């Protein structure tokens, strides 16, 4: 039974993996955190591209994955085209900031976007932004350091950075022109959702891309005739965790966010 490969620069992709496991409880997953070469969001495109291609190759060659989920907005922007070119027969799903769903939800017509510097600067994101309705105002905020603070579970730093970046957005809430919808455009930020919600207030809706990515993965596997048939519990809860960084960090995060998983293993990928 071939697993589905999922990777991110660190623990952020676990937020996508959580949605994937809910949508596909019968499947097996191999997760790679590239924490030894992170953060991606503040590195140059060539670095993120090279790392993503190396991890894609590793997942295909060493784990024979039947699909690949790039659970990182920054890596998707930098490398999804290269990954598709390198593995033309493999279903590959990326993640990008949910601008369109957010625009559809906003009543004030103002949407905030929190993402990495790399994502916001990418051609892919700029094209996505240009494709949105002119009726909606998007306020973009690069959140330097936030993914790293979440990665190291540094709660005071997460709070300080969320405070700084949400304050920079301008008025939030339901008053005319205020931001009432917030896109979490980095998979790490889902793990700061409670802090962000506290700071922004209950009226602001937070939107991430975990569920749409999971749904897209289901659809692609179904099209390829590669869904593990139900009913079967062959894959239930089967998950391998690999990291180029500290095994304990990934293991602790998985225990915290995915609730009880096995050990994480260290691996060199290059
Ligand atoms: N989790 C990644 C994303 O979705 C980026 C975090 C990082 O900067 O490494 O963009």
Instruction: Encode pLDDT of 204-253 as tens digits.
Output: 999 999 999 999 999 999 999 999 876 556 666 689 999 999 999 999 99
Q: What band does 267 get if pLDDT is binned at 50, 70 and 90?
A: very high
Which residue of 32, 55, 75 sits with most ligand 1 atoms within 8 Å of its CB, as the best mutation to test the pocket? 75
Which residue of 14, 94, 121, 188 sits with most ligand 1 atoms within 8 Å of its CB, as the best mutation to test the pocket? 188
Rg (CA), the chain: 18
Supply the pLDDT for residue 175.
96
Domain end residue (candidates: 158, 188, 207)? 207
Supply the pLDDT for residue 232.
58
Is there a contact between 70 and 80 (Cβ–Cβ < 8 Å)? Answer: yes
Q: How far is the CA of 172 from the centre of ligand 1 (A)?
A: 24
Domain of 66, in residue numbers = 4-95+210-266
Q: Hey, which residues are catalytic here?
A: 72, 186
Q: Which residue has the tokens 């919600």?
A: 197
Q: Could you tell me if 91 and 220 lie in one domain?
A: yes
Q: What is the DSSP letter of 89?
A: T
Q: Mean pLDDT throughout 35-59?
A: 97
Q: Could you tell me if 105 and 179 lie in one domain?
A: yes
Q: Could you tell me if 200 and 119 lie in one domain?
A: yes
> How many domains does one find in the chain?
2
Q: Could you tell me if 88 and 157 lie in one domain?
A: no
Supply the pLDDT for residue 234.
60
Q: Could you tell me if 116 and 183 lie in one domain?
A: yes
Q: Could you tell me if 155 and 249 lie in one domain?
A: no
**Residue bearing the bigger pLDDT, 21 or 234:** 21
Q: How far is the CA of 232 from the centre of ligand 1 (A)?
A: 34
Q: How far is the CA of 9 from the centre of ligand 1 (A)?
A: 6
Q: Could you tell me if 32 and 163 lie in one domain?
A: no
What average pLDDT does the chain have?
95
Supply the pLDDT for residue 229.
79
How far is the C-alpha of 103 from the C-alpha of 202, rounded, in Å? 18
Q: What is the DSSP letter of 101?
A: H
Supply the pLDDT for residue 259.
76
């Amino acid at each position: 039974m071939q697993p589905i490969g999922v990777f991110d620069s660190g623990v952020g992709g676990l937020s996508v993996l959580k949605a994937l496991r809910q949508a596909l409880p019968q499947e097996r997953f191999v997760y790679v955190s590239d924490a030894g070469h992170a953060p991606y969001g503040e590195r140059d495109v060539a670095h993120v591209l090279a790392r993503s291609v190396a991890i894609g190759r590793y997942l295909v060659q060493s784990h024979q994955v039947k699909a690949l989920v790039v659970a990182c907005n920054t890596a998707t922007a930098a490398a999804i085209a290269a990954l598709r070119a390198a593995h033309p027969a493999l279903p590959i799903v990326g993640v990008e900031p949910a601008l369109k769903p957010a625009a559809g939800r906003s009543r004030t017509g103002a949407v905030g976007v929190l993402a990495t510097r790399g994502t916001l600067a990418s051609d892919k994101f700029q094209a996505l932004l240009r494709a949105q309705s002119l009726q909606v105002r998007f306020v973009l905020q690069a959140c330097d350091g936030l993914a790293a603070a979440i990665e190291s579970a540094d709660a005071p730093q997460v709070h300080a950075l969320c405070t700084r970046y949400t304050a920079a957005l301008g008025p939030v809430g339901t008053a005319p022109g205020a931001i009432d919808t917030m896109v979490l455009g980095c998979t790490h930020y889902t793990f700061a959702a409670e802090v962000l919600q506290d700071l922004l207030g209950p009226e602001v809706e937070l939107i991430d891309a975990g569920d749409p990515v999971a749904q897209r993965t289901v659809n692609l596997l179904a099209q390829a005739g590669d869904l593990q048939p139900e009913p079967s519990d062959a894959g239930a809860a089967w998950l391998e965790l690999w990291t180029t960084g500290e095994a304990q960090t990934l293991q602790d995060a998985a225990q915290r966010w995915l609730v009880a998983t096995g050990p994480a293993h260290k691996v060199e990928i290059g």
